[in-house]
Structure 1
Amino acid sequence: MAYQETDGQRRVHHANYLNYFERGRVEMLRELGHNYKSIEDDGHMLVVAEMNVKYFAPAEFDDWLELTTTVMEVRKVRMRHRYQIHRDGQLLVEADSVIACVDRSGKLARLPNLKTR
């Protein structure tokens, strides 16, 4: 963890985890052969509709963390992800999100055909 990601207690600020989850989604899609920019260029915007985060233990400056991102469910216009952040095998944070697909005008749209596993 970088120093600028911590708060006055030298712990990772809770809001930074949302950025880690987004990175996890983008990298997961990349590993599955998808390009987030191309998805958006095709008119599909993947937006966060819900986020539920549970904090079990703090991460601190200079910790090495492991993020796991998993697609739990795919429906016509939404998909649900689970995120887990571990340090040395200890679960620190777990979250679930619902990502909705919208078109350029912001209306719900069918998800593009994405490989999710």
Structure 2
Amino acid sequence: MPLHRFAIRVYYEDTDMAGIVYYANYLKYIERARSDWVREVGVDQNALREGEGLVFAVRRVEADYLLPAKFDDVLEVTTATVQVTGARMVLEQQVLRDGEVLFSAQVTLVVINEAGHAARLPAIIRRMVH
């Protein structure tokens, strides 16, 4: 898969008392970028949920906060596939400002069924994201 790019601007509401992006907002930024990435590769999450009763869930996030983003910064979130197996996807996501990495995360996604139990990633989706 080619590198997916997603632009985000930092708003006042994203910042803390020091005027920098509050740490938890980076997780929101990478979530938005992942949702856009999934849509771009052709996965219809609503159809997956309604047709097969399956949804994506974050299983693990390993994150490094390297440099602060500030109010009105224009950021870019990149998403790259690291590994796809029958049961999970591992993605590398970064938040950059002018090409400089501010935040980096490795995110493990799984698929769960309506009962909340792990399920196999449908083969068609494995092919789409690999």
Could you tell me which of 67, 75, 79 is aligned with 1:57?
67
Q: Which has the higher strand share?
A: 2
TM-superposed CA distance for 1:36, in Å, is: 2.0
Question: 4+ runs of 1 displaced by more than 6 Å?
Answer: none
Aligned length: 117
- Matching residue of 2:42: 33
Contact 1:44/1:104, CA 8 A, preserved across alignment: yes
- Matching residue of 2:113: 103
What is the root-mean-square deviation of aligned Cα atoms in Å? 1.1
Q: Which runs of 5+ in 1 are unaligned?
A: none
Q: Distance in 1 between matches of 2:45 and 2:33?
A: 12
Q: Quote the sequence identity (%).
A: 35
Q: TM-score, normalised by structure 1?
A: 0.94
Q: Distance in 1 between matches of 2:91 and 2:99?
A: 20
- Give runs of aligned pairs for residues 15-34 of structure 1, distance below 5 A: 15-34=24-43
Q: TM-score, normalised by structure 2?
A: 0.85
Q: Which has the higher helix share?
A: 2
Q: Distance in 2 between matches of 1:80 and 1:116?
A: 11
Q: Which runs of 5+ in 2 are unaligned?
A: 1-9
Q: Distance in 1 between matches of 2:117 and 2:99?
A: 41
Contact 1:50/1:97, CA 8 A, preserved across alignment: yes
Q: Distance in 1 between matches of 2:62 and 2:70?
A: 21
The amino acid across from 1:105 in the alignment is A
Q: Distance in 2 between matches of 1:20 and 1:40?
A: 23
